[in-house]
Amino acid sequence: MIPLLILYNPASNATRKPILPMSLLALGALLEGRHEYAIVDGNLEADPLTTIDRLVRETGADLLGVTVMPGPQLKSAVLHCRMLKELHPSLTIVWGGYFPTQHYDVCLRDRCVDYVVRGHGEVVFSALVAALYAGDDPTGLPGLAFRAPGTGQIVSNPLAPIPHPGRLPRFPYHRLELGRYIRPTFLGKRTLAHHSSYGCPFFCNFCAVVNMVHGRWLAQSAEQTADVVRYLANTWSVDAIEFYDNNFFVHEARTAEFAERITDLGIAWWGEARIDTLLKYQERTWALMAESGLRMIFMGAESGSDETLRRMNKGGTAATEKTLVIAAKTAQYGIIPEFSFVLGNPPDPEADVRQTIEFIRRLKRVNPNAEIVLYLYTPVPLPGDLYDQATSHGFRFPETLDEWISATWLDFSQRRNNHVPWLKDSLRRDIRNFERVLNAYYPTSTDRKLRGALRLILKAVSAWRYHLRVYRYPLELRALHKVIAYQRPETSGF
Ligand code: B12
Ligand code: SF4
């Protein structure tokens, strides 16, 4: 009997929202017909550790592939893998995903991880599985990091080429109870996700995607992407799709053709874009996108300062003006723009925050429906101006998994309460206070529970603060929040 192979998605959010584990579907697509495997999803299973332990005992499973993002998912991955190694010392554990790709050395310093596959890993993983089952030495595989036999030294081979999503087999949806992943969102009653491209052609120096793909972008064709959407709409009555691509809109002709192909389905959709890319789109493409059901576009505006944007390597010249132009453009087509900002950047985080807050106010004047999502600058190990500034302030990444899963670093990973040397507590508070006033004065349209009257109340109560720029001590808004519980704009959570 060929032993079962287990693919594990540790819980990726506190509320255990069921989110399609596409990383595992991508791995599974290349295992179909070659290996017996099972997917264990920590977002759905009450006790995934017991499930995996049982599968290992009952089936003799000896290989576990784990997908790992920084944050709470990393914590579950560490604790569960350590436990499983103790129970089953001969279980081979392979990690992949964004965290191990960047911090493979930290992962492999811990005995609960045997191999790390770096980058987009389905092809390498399937080769690794084949090598391990054949008893061959896998250490020559590109994209593989491991402890060298004998010396124990940690080695990473150069990354493998990125597999082309247009040439990969379709996701094996039948391996999951797909119905459990369909959920109501602001887009529709039955929303599901898809991922139609790998990578991004840009090099913003705060972004983890760069280390993953080094400027490559490869995509399914418009026809293939539309076929997936059609399948999900026809077979699963899905009425809304969230595209989790890092940058869905890179290729205008693909976007236009995709929009044309799905217009008859009457679904709503959402995706992520670069502002400067969209500014080059023709009017016809905008019309097609709007007609096809594109409801909202997530864009990294990042900063209200052209100088900070230059240091981030983002947006070219007069980048902030481009954000204002796109805010007006989306309003013209009835598409809601969702702008994310990265605040508190070194070397002068105070000035950076002040400038960006003023810019957000300008942006809201241009398009009051624009959604604003605020993050704190969180370094990624990527050479460049920002990371150099961070390290010159004494910033360093943890060297052990234990440190990574401590409360401080979990907060850091979630870009919430960064304990970074250049950001004072008072400034962090100022940002949160501004956000509270902003979200009250402009309640997000993604909040499905917030009806007309409640919106008016929030706006009325916060108006004086917003107009007079009095953001400090918003005690009454905090109290109101307890009663009305208004939320931040909903994104796909990153
Ligand atoms: C969907 C998503 C989520 C979902 C959860 C998904 C899940 N697995 O359950 C939700 C919304 C919950 C979420 C939450 C968060 N996310 Co998130 N998320 C994404 C998103 C948009 C798509 C992931 C996806 O499905 N991709 C499609 C699949 C096919 O690609 P993939 O996951 O990269 O998998 C490939 C490779 O990574 C690799 N691989 C992955 N796993 C494995 C496992 C093995 C064994 C092997 C061999 C290979 C392998 O091979 C796969 C196939 O090519 C990505 C961005 C992106 N576009 O990828 C961000 C992203 C991964 N998230 C990110 C972040 C920061 C977070 C949060 C920390 C955000 C926050 N503020 O809290 C949280 C933390 C979650 C947690 N609890 O720990 C960052 C990670 C950045 C970094 N520094 O590493 C990303 C890259 C977004 C970004 N651009 O910054 N996220
Ligand atoms: S921030 Fe966006 S545009 Fe920049 S590299 Fe990352 S995914 Fe690409």
Going 481 to 486 to 488 to 494, the CA torsion angle's sign is: positive
- What per-residue confidence (pLDDT) applies to 494? 46
What average pLDDT score do residues 241-246 get? 98
Say what the pTM is.
0.95
Would you say residue 195 has pLDDT above 80? Answer: yes
Tokens of 60: 């003799």
Cβ of 96 closer than 6 Å to ligand 1, yes or no, is: yes
Cβ of 23 closer than 6 Å to ligand 1, yes or no, is: yes
Among 314, 340, 386, the mutation site with the greatest number of ligand 2 atoms within 8 A of its Cβ is: 314
**Cβ(88)–Cβ(427) under 8 Å?**
no
Would you say residue 316 has pLDDT above 90? Answer: no
Would you say residue 181 has pLDDT above 60? Answer: yes
Nearest ligand by distance to the CA of 117: 1
Domain ranges of the chain: 5-156, 182-368+379-422
Cβ of 492 closer than 6 Å to ligand 1, yes or no, is: yes
Cβ of 138 closer than 6 Å to ligand 1, yes or no, is: no
| CA gap 108, 152 in Å, rounded | 10
What average pLDDT score do residues 173-187 get? 95
Which of 95-104, 201-210, 353-362 is least confident?
Answer: 201-210
Q: Which percentage of the chain shows pLDDT scores above 90?
A: 79
Cβ of 73 closer than 6 Å to ligand 1, yes or no, is: yes
- What per-residue confidence (pLDDT) applies to 383? 77
Nearest ligand by distance to the CA of 418: 1
- What per-residue confidence (pLDDT) applies to 216? 96
**Cβ(31)–Cβ(59) under 8 Å?**
no
Residue-wise pLDDT tens digits, 322-338: 999 999 999 999 999 99
Residue-wise pLDDT tens digits, 389-407: 888 888 899 999 999 999 9
Cβ of 97 closer than 6 Å to ligand 1, yes or no, is: yes
Omega before 184 within 30 of 0, i.e. cis: no
Residue whose Cα lies nearest atom 7 of ligand 1: it is: 21
Cβ of 418 closer than 6 Å to ligand 1, yes or no, is: no
Nearest ligand by distance to the CA of 203: 2
Q: Closest ligand 1 atom, CA of 17?
A: 12
Band (455; pLDDT cuts 50, 70, 90)? confident
Nearest ligand by distance to the CA of 81: 1
The fold of 182-368+379-422 is: TIM Barrel (3.20.20)
Cβ of 247 closer than 6 Å to ligand 2, yes or no, is: yes
What average pLDDT score do residues 416-445 get? 88
Which of 4-8, 18-22, 380-384, 393-397 is least confident?
Answer: 380-384
Which of 227-241, 330-344, 444-458 is least confident?
Answer: 444-458
- What per-residue confidence (pLDDT) applies to 379? 85
What average pLDDT score do residues 340-362 get? 93
Among 203, 249, 274, 302, the mutation site with the greatest number of ligand 2 atoms within 8 A of its Cβ is: 274
- What per-residue confidence (pLDDT) applies to 241? 98
| CA gap 458, 481 in Å, rounded | 9
Q: Ligand 2 mean position to 19 CA, how many Å? A: 22
Residue-wise pLDDT tens digits, 16-63: 889 999 999 999 999 999 999 999 999 999 999 999 999 999 999 999
b/e per residue 144-175 (b: at least 16 CB within 10 A): bbbbeeeeeebeeeebbebbebeebeebbbeb
- Domain 5-156 -> CATH class: alpha beta
Mean pLDDT of the chain: 93
- What per-residue confidence (pLDDT) applies to 493? 44
Cβ of 204 closer than 6 Å to ligand 2, yes or no, is: yes
Q: Ligand 2 mean position to 204 CA, how many Å? A: 6
**Cβ(28)–Cβ(7) under 8 Å?**
yes
Q: Ligand 2 mean position to 486 CA, how many Å? A: 29
Would you say residue 1 has pLDDT above 90? Answer: no
Cβ of 272 closer than 6 Å to ligand 1, yes or no, is: no
**Cβ(337)–Cβ(300) under 8 Å?**
no
Band (417; pLDDT cuts 50, 70, 90)? low
Cβ of 274 closer than 6 Å to ligand 2, yes or no, is: yes
